[in-house]
């Protein structure tokens, strides 16, 4: 029998947050109180779902092993992903619907009650409102059913902002472009993913000259594709003195590149010197793979003319 509305005789639960309503990235805080003095928990579980069985909709299912202090997240393959030590830095705890930041996850007893706090980020919207269900197992192996404790939540996809380029129109053979992306350390606290800048007639140039830069955020490196060589040139470290990346279409003085992280955004200032092969009108494209594994695809952000 699944219990959905009330506390179980062996455990009382309370939700401290978040309140019902729209959420995209939210701090969940709950307390579990055992039925008798001295009792402890073997594990606790948190489920954000339309119903205890999922109801055919996306759900986020988190398991915490209390003695081991390890987290598991139910994955897309029908099994739990983990374990990941609570408080550690990792991007492992995610599936196609949600991600959990273990670094900001805490569990501690305050008197007899166990307080659990974690941050959950949602990758895409859900067509129906979701509820919060809790479950636990005591040290005597007594297990509660799912207890419906909070909701309804309207799930929205988390976004760190759209990628931008400035200037986004103009002309010239030499130009300092300012690229702005989501901070690659957000929202899981670990540098990951990549960003790309393409100057071309289309995302698939089909023989037309193009300039293509790739920023590897996890490694902190920059690469430039050379169509003449047929592979990426590099890597180089932005700001590295006297370093240069050069292809048959463009030259980059790597030492003049500046990166700034502020307010959840990454700004990259990069000077480009175009060669004669790039003469003509070109579009400016940006693309990112974020820490949640979401590929933006090529986004047209402006036009540039090389005289």
The partner residues of 258 in beta bridges, in order of sequence, read 269
Please report the pLDDT score of residue 4 as a whole number. 38
Average pLDDT over residues 251-255: 91
Query: What angle (nearest 5°) sits at the alpha carbon of residue 271, between those of residues 292 and 287?
Result: 25
Please tell me the distance from the alpha carbon of residue 3 to that of residue 261, in angstroms, as a whole number. Answer: 47
Band the pLDDT of 5: cuts 50, 70, 90: very low
List the strands of the sheet with 21-23, edge to edge.
Answer: 21-23, 147-155, 130-138, 41-49, 60-65, 70-74, 80-85
pLDDT above 70 coverage of the chain, percent: 96
Domains of the chain by range and CATH? 12-155 (2.60.40.10), 164-306 (2.60.40)
Render pLDDT for 163-201 as a digit per residue (tens, 0 to 9): 999 999 999 999 999 999 988 888 888 888 899 999 999
Tell me the three state secondary structure of residue 182.
strand
Please report the pLDDT score of residue 183 as a whole number. 85
Band the pLDDT of 3: cuts 50, 70, 90: very low
The gap from C-alpha 289 to its chain's centroid, in whole angstroms, comes to 9
Instruction: Give me the DSSP letters along 107-154.
Output: EEEETTEEEEEEEEEESS--SS-EEEEEEEEETTS-B---EEEEEEEE
By CB neighbour count within 10 A (0-12 exposed, 13-18 middle, 19+ buried), where does 12 fall? middle
Render pLDDT for 120-163 as a digit per residue (tens, 0 to 9): 999 999 999 999 999 988 887 777 888 887 778 999 999 888 99
- Candidates 62, 68, 58, 67; CA nearest to 96 is 58
Render pLDDT for 265-275 as a digit per residue (tens, 0 to 9): 899 999 999 99
Please report the pLDDT score of residue 8 as a whole number. 55
Please report the pLDDT score of residue 166 as a whole number. 96
Render pLDDT for 42-86 as a digit per residue (tens, 0 to 9): 999 999 999 999 889 999 999 999 999 999 999 999 999 999 999
Please tell me the distance from the alpha carbon of residue 22 to that of residue 121, in angstroms, as a whole number. Answer: 12
- Candidates 251, 269, 273, 260; CA nearest to 175 is 273
The strand pair at 147-155 and 21-23 is best described as parallel
Please report the pLDDT score of residue 178 as a whole number. 95
Contact 130, 49 (CB under 8 A): yes
Q: Which residue has the tokens 């805080």?
A: 29
Whole-angstrom CA distances from 257 to 185, 197, 244 are 19, 14, 11
Please report the pLDDT score of residue 9 as a whole number. 58
Supply the mean pLDDT for the chain: 89
Please tell me the distance from the alpha carbon of residue 268 to that of residue 85, in angstroms, as a whole number. Answer: 34
**pTM score:** 0.84
Please report the pLDDT score of residue 241 as a whole number. 87
Number of Cβ atoms within 10 Å of the Cβ of 17: 11
Please tell me the distance from the alpha carbon of residue 83 to that of residue 66, in angstroms, as a whole number. Answer: 12
| Residue, of 20 and 176, whose pLDDT is higher | 176
């Amino acid at each position: 029998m699944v219990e959905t509305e009330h506390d179980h005789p062996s455990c009382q639960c309370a939700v401290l947050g978040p309140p019902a309503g729209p959420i995209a990235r939210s701090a969940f805080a709950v307390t579990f109180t055992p039925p008798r003095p001295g009792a402890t928990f073997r594990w606790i579980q948190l489920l954000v779902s339309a119903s205890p069985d999922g109801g055919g909709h996306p759900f986020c299912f988190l398991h915490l092993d209390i003695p081991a202090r390890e987290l598991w997240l139910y994955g897309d393959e029908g099994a739990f992903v983990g374990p990941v030590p609570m408080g550690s830095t990792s991007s492992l705890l995610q599936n196609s619907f949600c991600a959990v930041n273990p670094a900001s996850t805490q569990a501690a007893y305050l008197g007899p009650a166990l307080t659990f706090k974690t941050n959950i980020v949602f990758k895409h919207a859900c067509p129906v409102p979701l509820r919060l269900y809790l479950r636990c197992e005591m040290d005597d192996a007594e297990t509660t059913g799912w207890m419906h404790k909070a909701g309804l939540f309207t799930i929205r996809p988390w976004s760190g902002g759209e990628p931008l380029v400035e200037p986004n129109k103009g002309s010239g053979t030499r130009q300092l472009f300012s690229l702005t992306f989501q901070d690659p350390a957000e929202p899981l606290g670990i540098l990951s993913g990549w960003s790309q800048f393409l100057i071309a007639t289309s995302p698939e140039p089909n023989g037309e000259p193009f300039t293509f830069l790739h920023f590897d955020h996890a490694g902190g490196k920059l690469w430039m594709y050379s169509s003449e060589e047929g592979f990426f040139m590099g890597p180089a470290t932005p700001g590295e003195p006297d370093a240069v990346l050069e292809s048959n279409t463009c030259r980059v003085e790597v030492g003049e590149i500046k990166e700034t992280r502020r307010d959840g955004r990454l700004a990259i200032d990069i000077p480009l010197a175009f060669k004669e092969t790039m003469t003509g009108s070109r579009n400016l494209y940006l693309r990112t793979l974020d820490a949640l594994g979401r590929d933006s695809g090529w986004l047209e952000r402006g036009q540039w003319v090389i005289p």
